[in-house]
Amino acid sequence: MYNKKNIIFCVLLCLLTIIIDQASKWVVLSNLNINSSIKVFTGFNLVLTFNYGTSFGLLSPNTAYGTYCLIALSLLLIIILLCAFFKLKNNIERILLSVLIGGAIANLLDRIIHGAVIDFIDIYYKDWHWPVFNIADMAITCSAICLILYNLFKSNNTKYCR
């Protein structure tokens, strides 16, 4: 049922996502002060921020209890994703889910270690700024979009191939 090489590849991909994210955050923490900014090029800055809430800073807890609730919720979601991973039969979906899980674990590590998720990528146009994010956020978002698109096209192909 499971190809051992594929599972090992997925675990390594998950670990690579975590390592790249955590290494990038270490570099930023070592070189930037909170809310200081480095212009990389027009439309792209590096800025150190701490996100105490969920995506886009929503649901920011004002207490340690709130932070613990977000940690517990993150753990629960990771467990659900891991269960889904082992139910999948398709390697493409496993690979994409591995990247998503890696991103989720990387952000969970931030919450446990720092009490907040470290964000530092600031994309902007003139005075409009997208909410600051990190490598793990990109991994989560890109893999989720790819999973959705893959399943949309997969289901469409099965309908038309009969």
Catalytic residue among 21, 110, 122, 137: 137
The whole-angstrom separation of Cα 133 and Cα 29 is: 14
What is the C-alpha to C-alpha distance for residues 88 and 97, in angstroms, rounded to an integer? 10
The span from the CA of 48 to the CA of 116, in Å, is 12
Which of 21, 119, 122, 127 is catalytic? The answer is 119
Answer yes or no: 127 catalytic.
no
Q: Clarify whether 119 is annotated catalytic.
A: yes
Task: Give me the DSSP letters along 76-97.
Answer: HHHHHHHHHHHH---HHHHHHH
- Tokens encoding 46: 């590096």
Which residues are designated catalytic?
119, 137
